A and B are shown apart, each in its own frame.
Chain A
C-alpha cells in the first residue's frame, strides 16, 4: 500500500474497494463510497424498476438501494450473511454531468454478494477496457485491473446510474 495513492482520472490509479458478484471481482473507487453496511430491513417501493429493491433508513437518511446483480442482468440470489450494501455518494463522481442539483449529495446503496478488501491499484496494473464492437455498451466499465493474478473490473458508478435513473432516484429521495 503506497502512501499517497489518490484517484487519478486519467489513469484510474487509486484506492479501490473490491467485492464479489457471482464469482467475479469488481472494484469501486473508495472516494465514491460513503459507508459499507450489512443488509438491513429494506422498505419496498412500488412503481420502480425491478432492480431497485426499495429504500433503507441509514441513521435518519432515506437511501434508495438497488441490486447490482439485477442491474447487470445476472441471476438473482437469496441474500445471506455475506450480502452487504455499499452506500455511494454521487456528487463526487467526476465523470457525471450533473447539470441539476449540483450542490446536493445523492446517496445510492448497491447490494453486492460479498465485500472483500480495500486495495491500491497502480497505473501499471490497469489496462483499458476491452472493445466488443459498437453495439455493446461498455461505458460503465472504467477499466480492467490485474491484482494478484485476478482480474478486477473497475466500475464507473456515474455511468451505471444513467441520468434518467438518477432522476428517478432523486424523486424517490423525498
Chain B
C-alpha cells in the first residue's frame, strides 16, 4: 500500500501524477490544433483559390463579350481582335489552373465542371467562327453570327460559371462552419483536461504531505511533553516508513527513561519509608542510565553503612557500654557524622567519669558540711554571749554621745559671736582705708602745686640772669639793676629750695600713707580669712552636733540590730543542727549515685576514698574558737575618729580665747 511506501516513493508517485496530467494536456492540445490547421489549409488552398479562379473566368468571358459587342458596333477591329485573343488565352490558362485543382471525388462539382466544359466548347467554337469572319472581313456574317448564336452561347457559359462560383462560395462557407465547430469542441476538451488534472494533483499533494508531516508532528509533541518532564507517554506505530521508524525509536527512548525514572522513584520511596536495604536492578538499564542507577544504589550503600554502624554503637551505649565507637572510615559529611557520634559517646563517657569524680567530691564535701554544721552550732552559742557584752557597751556610748552634742552647741554659740566681732572690725578697716586714700590724693595734689612753684622759681631765675646780662650790657647804667637782679635770683633760688624741701616732705607723707594703706589692706585680708575660718568652725561644729544626733540614732539601731542578731543566733544554732542532719542525708544520696554511676562501663575509674565519717568535732571546734577569740581582741579601727583628723584646729585655740 501507499501507506507503507518510503517517503521517496510517495514523492515520486505525487510528482508522476503531475507529469502524466501535463502530458495528457499537451497531447489533447496538439491534436485539436492539428484538426483546426487541416481545415484551415483546405479552406485557404482549395476553396478560396477555386472561388477566385471562377470569378476571374466570369469577368474574362464578360470582357470577350464586350469586345465583340464593340466590334459589331464599329469600333477599331484590330485592337479589339488582339484584346479578344489575349483574353481568350488568359481564359484558357485560368481553366487549366482550375483543372489542376479539381476534386474528382466531388460529384456535384464534377457535374457542374462537365457542363461548364461543354458550354465553353460551344462558346469557343462560336468565338472562333466569329474571329474567322472578322479576319476575313465578312462583317455582315459576323454580325449575324454575333446576333444569332454568340449571345446565347455567352449567356449559357456565364450562367454555368456563376453556378460554379456559387458552389465554391457555399463550399467555403461550409468549411468555415466546420472549423468553428472543431475549435469549440477542442477548447472544451482542453479545459476539461486541465480541471481534472488540477484536481487530481491537488488531492495527491495534500494526501502525500499529510502522510509525511502527521507522524513527525506527533513525534515533536511527544518530545515536548518529555522535555516538560512527563514520562507516561505512548506512541502508536502504524506505518513502516521512516516516520514509523522514528516513532519506534522514540517509543523505546521513552520506555528507557520511564524505567530509569521508576527505579529512581522506587529507591527514593523505599528510602523515605525507611527501607534502606532495597536496591534497583541495573541489568534493566544500559550505559549511562545503568551507571546512574548503580550510583544511586552506591549512594544508598554509603548512607546506610554508617547508619547501621551508628545504630550498633548506640545500642551498645544503651547497654551502658560507653566505650563503644564507630570505627570504619567515612568521607565528607559522613566523617562529621562519625565524629559527632563518637564525640557524643566520648562526651557522655567523660560526663559519667566527671559525675563519678564529682560524686566523690560531694561525699567529701558532705562530710565537711556535717562537721562544719556541728562547729557552727557551738560557735553560735559563744556569739550569743558576745552579743550581751556589745549591748552593754552600746548603752555607755549612747550617754557619751549626748554629752558630745551639748558641747557642740555651746561651741556654735561662741563661733557666732566671733564672726560678728570680726565683721565689725572689717567695717572700721574699710573706713580707715578710705581715709588713707584721701591723704594720698591730697599729697599728690600738693606735689603738683610744688611742681608749679619750682617751675616759677626756675623761670624767675632765668629772668634774673637775663636781667643780669642786660645790666652788664648796659654798663654803668645797669649797675643798680644788676643788684636787683641778684636779689631776685636769690629769692628764686630760695623759693626753689623751699619747694624742694616741701616736695620731699610730701613725698615722705605720701609714702607713709601708702604704707598705711597696704597695712590696712593686709589687716582687712586677715580679718576676712578669720571670718571664713570661723564660718568653717561653725559648720564643723554644726556637723559635729548633727553627727552626734545621728550617732545616738545609730546606736539605737545597733541595739535593735544586736537584739535581732541574738534572735538570729538562736535560729542559727537550730539551723546548724538541721544542716548536720541534711549533710548526712546528702552523703547517703551520693553513695547511692556512686553505685548507679559504677554500673556504666567506662575507660577509667575514680577510686573511691570517701565514706561518711563522724566529724572530729573537737579538732574543728578548737579552730573555730581561736578564730572567734581573734575577732574579739581586734575591734574595728574605723570607729576611732579623732577631731584632729577632721579639722585643722591647731593655732585657733588662742584666737578663740580672745573672743571669750
Contact = CB atoms under 8 A, between A and B. Distances in A.
A and B bound?
A: yes
Contacts of B485: 118
Nearest to A30: B472
A37 B459 CA distance: 8
Contact of B472 (A36, A38, A81, A118): A118
Interface stretch (B157-165, B406-414, B475-483): B475-483
Contact of A4 (B465, B476, B482): B476
A94 to B, nearest CB: 15
A6 B475 contact: yes
B492 to A, nearest CB: 11
Contacts of A33: 469
B476 A117 contact: no
A103 interface: no
A128 B43 CA distance: 196
B468 interface: yes
Contacts of B475: 4, 6
Interface in B427-462: 454-455, 458-459, 461-462
Given A36-B462, A81-B454, A84-B462, A118 B469 contact: yes
Given A1-B482, A38-B458, A38-B462, A31 B473 contact: yes
B465 A36 contact: yes
A81 B468 contact: no
Interface residues of B, number: 19
Contacts of A1: 482, 486
A109 to B, nearest CB: 14
Contacts of A84: 462
A115 B475 CA distance: 22
Nearest to A28: B469
Interface residues of A, number: 19
A105 interface: no
A53 interface: no
Contacts, number: 45
Given A1-B482, A4-B476, A117-B489, A82 B458 contact: yes
Given A1-B482, A6-B475, A84-B462, A17 B469 contact: yes
A75 to B, nearest CB: 24
A169 to B, nearest CB: 21
A122 B455 CA distance: 33
A35 interface: yes
B466 interface: yes
Nearest to B465: A36
A115 B458 CA distance: 10
Interface in B184-216: none
Interface in A74-114: 81-82, 84
Nearest to B485: A118
Interface in B535-593: none
Given A30-B469, A31-B472, A115 B462 contact: yes
B286 to A, nearest CB: 128
Nearest to B493: A117
B468 A118 contact: yes
A3 B447 CA distance: 42
A39 to B, nearest CB: 11
Contacts of B469: 17, 30, 33, 35-36, 118
B465 A115 contact: yes
A68 B476 CA distance: 32
B478 to A, nearest CB: 10
Contacts of A6: 475
Given A35-B466, A37-B462, A81-B454, A30 B476 contact: no
A30 B472 CA distance: 7
Q: Ordered nearest first, which 9 A-B pairs have the shortest CB separation?
A: A118-B468, A30-B472, A15-B472, A30-B469, A33-B469, A36-B465, A36-B466, A36-B462, A115-B465
13 contacts: A1-B486, A3-B476, A3-B479, A30-B468, A30-B469, A31-B472, A33-B469, A35-B469, A36-B462, A37-B462, A81-B454, A115-B461, A117-B468
Given A30-B469, A117-B465, A118-B472, 20 more contacts: A1-B486, A3-B476, A3-B479, A4-B475, A30-B468, A30-B472, A31-B473, A33-B469, A35-B466, A36-B462, A36-B466, A36-B469, A37-B462, A38-B459, A82-B458, A115-B461, A115-B462, A117-B468, A118-B468, A118-B482
Interface of A: 1, 3-4, 6, 15, 17, 30-31, 33, 35-38, 81-82, 84, 115, 117-118
Interface of B: 454-455, 458-459, 461-462, 465-466, 468-469, 472-473, 475-476, 479, 482, 485-486, 489
